[in-house]
Amino acid sequence: MEKHIVLLPGDGIGPEVTKAAKRVLQAVADRYQHSFTFENHDIGGVAIDQQGTPLPEDTVQAAKKADAIFLGAVGGPKWDQLPGHMRPEKGLLGIRKQLGLFANLRPVKAFNQLLHASPLKQEVVQASDLLIVRELTGGLYFGQPSERRNNGEEVVDTLAYERREIERIVDQAFQSAQVRRKHLTSVDKANVLESSRMWREVVEEKKAAYPDVSVEHMLVDAAAMKLVTNPTYFDVIVTENMFGDILSDEASVLTGSLGMLPSASLNENGVGLYEPVHGSAPDIAGEDKANPLASILSVAMMLKHSFGLEEEAEQVETAVQEVLSGGYHTADIDVKGGTKVSGSELAAKVVDQIGSNDTTENIMRCYV
């Protein structure tokens, strides 16, 4: 299979984790005889420095032509003082919008090897396996520009949705639930917000089309509590852009580190942008301390969702599991009796694992 991948390393630890993602993609290509080609482009702070804008046109054009996109991270204190439209984050929001990446899938799984790394009790976290489906191109993040203002005395952000925007994300969530444990929790604030009341209406309308999925509504404050008191209760959560942003960082404590959470952002044509949920972590940038596993697991999502390579995706996930079972971890995770290694060393272990696994199966393949 031939695929062309656009890499957007971005800022802070972005370039380090992107390098890890690329190495893993290359390892998969070598083992399974695929051909992946790569093209790097600027986004975020680095793009502001190089080209005077957080989202240069050549980045958008290249991303539109790619089979898949990998993004490291954007932002950092260096650009904090810039006006809103010039901040690095604008690059990320802009590419999500321009590519129509409305469906953000954020799986959260507690790895057995890392249970004790979570600040929560082991028996609470154990067996947590949920998927947050976050709406990504509407809501509070993208209020109407005419209404979005700050005149010094009064400030306004708006939370707007068109019905069809809610419909498509709710459909996506029902479909995700169908291939999992078939339970959907729609999270909103319908006791206060008009937008949430329409959200509930849409979920109620849609559920007839997915009779195999059980569905319920939950207020966002209650959901935030349940996520850390009874996380195994959840299968798929679907929610508005900002609620999803907040809940996904909260859910990362189940995995022991924000450095473990991958994500996929898909549009209506199935084109995807893959990125670790963690940010640019400027405090450790350039020190080779960043955990590459969120990026590597994002690569697994790319293989599965954009390229339909289920076996390869599973191989990457297994390799991560095996490296964790070997006790290897980066500094963000406190594994008792484990071996702390650098980010690039951890990525190398995953790459080795991908290359070496199932050799018998490989040999068998040569003979059939």
Q: Which residues participate in catalysis according to the annotation?
A: 141, 189, 221, 245, 249
What is the per-residue binding string for Mn ion in 191-230, x denoting contact by CB under 5 A? Answer: ----------------------------------------
User: What tokens does 146 get?
Assistant: 């005419």
Angle formed at CA 183 by CA 181 and CA 186, multiple of 5 degrees: 145
Q: Closest by alpha carbon to 278, among 266, 267, 289?
A: 289
Q: Which residue is nearest to Mn ion (CB)?
A: 245
| Helices and strands: H and E segment counts in the chain | 13, 14
Is beta strand 272-274 parallel, antiparallel or unpaired with respect to 155-156?
Answer: unpaired
Q: Is 75 in the site for ligand IPM (CB under 6 A)?
A: yes
Q: Measure the CA–CA gap between 247 and 130, rounded to whole angstroms.
A: 12
Nearer to ligand IPM, 19 or 134 (CB): 134
Minimum distance of ligand IPM from residue 130's CB (angstroms): 16
Minimum distance of Mn ion from residue 93's CB (angstroms): 12
H or E element, residue 285: none
Q: Is 135 in the site for Mn ion (CB under 5 A)?
A: no
- How many residues contact Mn ion, by CB under 5 A? 1
Minimum distance of ligand IPM from residue 323's CB (angstroms): 25
User: What tokens does 75 get?
Assistant: 């932002």
Q: Which of residues 174-203 bind ligand IPM (CB under 6 A)?
A: none
Q: Is 92 in the site for ligand IPM (CB under 6 A)?
A: yes
Q: Closest by alpha carbon to 231, among 203, 202, 256?
A: 256
Q: Which of residues 260-279 bind ligand IPM (CB under 6 A)?
A: 277, 279
Residue 167: strand, helix, or coil: helix
Is beta strand 214-219 parallel, antiparallel or unpaired with respect to 183-188?
Answer: parallel
Nearer to Mn ion, 242 or 348 (CB): 242
Q: Is 188 in the site for Mn ion (CB under 5 A)?
A: no
What is the per-residue binding string for Mn ion in 224-263, x denoting contact by CB under 5 A? Answer: ---------------------x------------------
Minimum distance of Mn ion from residue 242's CB (angstroms): 9
Residue given tokens 């809940």 in the structure block: 247
Q: Measure the CA–CA gap between 8 and 206, rounded to whole angstroms.
A: 36
Q: Which residues would be at the binding site for ligand IPM (CB under 6 A)?
A: 75, 89, 92, 245, 277, 279
